[in-house]
Amino acid sequence: MAWVTWRQHRSQAFAAFGLLAALAVTALVTHLPIASAFDHDSLSGCLPPATRTGCDIIVPHFESQFGGLVTATRILALLPLLAGLFVGAPLIARELEFGTYRFAWTQGVSRRRWLLSKTLLLAAATVVAAGAASLVLMWWRSPFDSLEGRMGPGGFDIEGIVVPAYALFALALGVLAGLVFRRTVAAMTATLLAFGATRFLVSDFVRPHFMAPLHRVISATATSGMPGDWVLSNTLVDAGGRRITAANEELAVVHAQQAGIDPHTYILTLGWRRIVSYQPAGRFWTFQLLEGGLYVGLALVLVALWLVRRTPA
């Protein structure tokens, strides 16, 4: 089956290889000015514990200079979806659409073995490709990671072991969608929607609760605090610890302005504080393992679903 899999999926392998090469070249070219700016401004000195002055000016300048690029890399969170769309979804749907299943599944290899061996080989290739993409992105993002951390979705979603895990999940999702919908385009659409929905739900509602978030009380006028942490919420509370709504905050500011007082000073005199809820930077690999495990588990559940489902007939 290895030869069969290679023959039927080599064009996808070439496409994946081309995509990875393009990603690596782009990363290399765009990394050069970043690295030189990082060295030129001696930004390593601004890493905690900061040993030099002026970091509060240099770091934001550096971040805004390359902010566009960093934002652009967020689209790469969709890379693992490609495995589902272009490898998983057509795997069975194409055979059904072109009638070739009547050839493929009537040879000496049973269709269960056909499906399992193909999927295992494709899953291995997917893990390798997604792992390589993840390594390239980790290397590219390393200056930003050292300054602003990678717990936030911008870094977390495209680094580490979650990238291959997402790709495996997308692949399994695509195969199941092809089995259910029997048409390539329908299967691709279903894969896209299900993958997007799952990723959104997990990153917004599940990931923040992998471990109980930590809390920190800071001055009402301070910014959120430690770089590298993933800030989940930043709430203004009064002296008694009650939450202050945005409208009330606005009122206080207006009140201060009318009275001719500096709003910051006014708020501090009221005894207001901020409570920051966050996941610390040090939990990165724990969270990666938890989320990676979650997606690999989901992929296995999907595989179990196709095995249970009766053969298409």
Partner 1 sequence: MRPPPLVAHGLGKRFRREWALRDLTLTVPPGAVVGLAGSNAAGKSTLLALAAGVLAPSEGSIAVLGRDPLESPEVLGEIGYVAQGAPLYRSFRVAETIEYARRTNARWDGEIATELLTRIDSRAKVGALSAGERARLALALALGKRPRLVLLDEPFASLDPLAARELLQLLMDGVAELAATVVVASHVVADIQRVCDHIVLLSGGCVRLEGDVEELLESHRLLTGPRRPLGEIRGVREVVRERYSGRQLTLLVVTDGPIVDPSWTVHPVSLEELLLAYMAPERLPNVRPMERVQLRWHG
- Please report, as ranges, the residues that interact with partner 1 according to CB under 8 A: 1, 3-4, 7-8, 98-103, 105-112, 310-311, 313
Question: Cβ closer to partner 1: 94 or 216?
Answer: 94
CA-CA distance, 184 to 78, in Å (whole number)? 19
CA-CA distance, 238 to 271, in Å (whole number)? 6
Question: Cβ closer to partner 1: 66 or 105?
Answer: 105
- As measured in angstroms, the least distance from the Cβ of 312 to partner 1 is 9
How many C-beta atoms surround the C-beta of residue 51 within 10 A? 11
Question: Cβ closer to partner 1: 105 or 139?
Answer: 105
Question: Cβ closer to partner 1: 242 or 310?
Answer: 310
- As measured in angstroms, the least distance from the Cβ of 3 to partner 1 is 5
Question: Cβ closer to partner 1: 101 or 139?
Answer: 101
- As measured in angstroms, the least distance from the Cβ of 6 to partner 1 is 11
**Secondary structure class of 272 (helix, strand, coil):** coil
- As measured in angstroms, the least distance from the Cβ of 90 to partner 1 is 13
CA-CA distance, 308 to 310, in Å (whole number)? 6
CA-CA distance, 191 to 117, in Å (whole number)? 21
- Residue 51 token pair: 């040993």
- As measured in angstroms, the least distance from the Cβ of 162 to partner 1 is 35
> What Å distances lie between residue 260 and 13, 86, 225, 247, 256, CA to CA?
68, 63, 29, 20, 6
